[in-house]
Amino acid sequence: MALRDDEEELHMVHVDDQDHKAVIGILYEIGNRDPFYDQLTEKLRELKTTPTVADGMVELKSPQKRTGSYFRYMGSLTTPPCTENVVWNILGKGRELSQEQRQLSTTPLPHQDNRPPHPLNGHPVAFYNPPKNTISIQSLVQ
C-alpha cells in the first residue's frame, strides 16, 4: 500500500511462545494528537538503540472506540527476513496523528528495511464489521 506524504502506518508485531506471529496495523493521517500513540512513545525511543523492545501493556479502549471493524489476511513481515504466514489485522478506520508524533516515528531507526507490496496471489482479505458499527470502505481503498 502506498502512503501519501500526510499518512503514516503503525505495525505492532506480536509473537507467541510457538513463534506464531500476528500484526495489528493502524493507518494514520496527520492531524490531532493520538492518545493511544502516546502510550508507545517510550518504546519508540528505545527502538533508536535496539532492533526490538520488550513487550508491555497498552490500553486498547482508545482504538476500540473509533472502530471495531478490521481487515484480516495472511501475509509476511515487512522487515527482513520477511517471515511468511503472519496474520495481519488492519483497523477498519484510520486515526489521526500529530506532526510531533509523526516526527518520533520517522526518526531514522536502525532497521528501516521494508519490502515492496506483493500481489494477493489469491489470498483472501476478510473484513469484520461488528453489529451497529459503521464504516466507509471506499475511504480505505482510495
Residue 109 has pLDDT above 90, yes or no: no
Instruction: Give pLDDT, residue 50.
Output: 74
**Residue 89 forms part of a structural domain:** yes
Q: Which one of 17-21, 47-51, 103-107, 123-127 scores highest in mean pLDDT? A: 17-21
The values of phi and psi at residue 23, to 5°, are -125, 135
**Residue 1 forms part of a structural domain:** no
Q: How many CB atoms lie within 10 A of CB 43?
A: 14
**Residue 11 forms part of a structural domain:** yes
User: Per the structure, how many domains does the chain have?
Assistant: 1
CATH number, domain containing residue 17: 3.10.200.10
The string of pLDDT tens digits covering residues 61-84 is 655 455 678 899 999 988 878 889
Q: Which of 46, 47, 53, 89 is nearest to 70 (CA)?
A: 89
Instruction: Give pLDDT, residue 49.
Output: 76
Enclosing domain of residue 41:
7-141
